[in-house]
Amino acid sequence: MTLDRFDRQILNLLQEDAAQTAERLAEQVALSPSAVQRRVRRLRESGAIIRDISIVDPKHVGRPTSFIVAVQVERERPELLAQFRTWLAGQAHVQQAFYVTGEADFILVITAPDTETYDALMARMVGENANVKRFTTNVALSLVKRGLAIPVPAEPED
């Protein structure tokens, strides 16, 4: 799908606040509300918009601790990596998982209410995934920035 300037503006605005009405979006991009609705529907159907979410303030839900974890695997065989990816996808405490280059094979962002819950999760990870060689943990002391928006340039980049 080719994105024009209106699509790009709409994507940026929806990433700031997905609850904006078509009327509010239309005012900001200089289109009619019905044109904005058609574009948003097309962006969803094409997969440009994956889903709409609400970002929860940790202070309101017991202030979960964030753990940044570097995981090394024993072997990078496709079937073992697929099994580990599937396991990670099924874990509610794993917020993000990146397959990366460098010393670690995966970088995980995990939230848990306490270190005991985190420790139990990591024990399960090692116990249920024999291919995990080792992991190192960093505990986040404070949140400096949380970003989920993907910057969409006004014009296509070549």
Cα 30 to Cα 36, 37, 81: the distances in Å are 9, 13, 47
Q: What is the pLDDT along the chain (158 residues), one digit of tens a residue?
A: 899 999 999 999 999 999 999 999 999 999 999 999 999 999 999 999 999 998 888 888 887 899 999 999 999 899 999 999 999 999 999 999 999 999 999 999 999 999 999 999 999 999 999 999 999 999 999 989 988 899 999 887 76
Residues 6+ apart with CB under 8 A from 88: 94, 97, 106, 108
Separation CA 131–CA 83 (nearest Å):
10
Angle ∠(146,40,13) on CA atoms, nearest 5: 35
Q: At which residue do the structure tokens 């200089």 appear?
A: 30
What pTM value is reported for the model? 0.84
Residue 118: Cβ within 10 Å count: 21
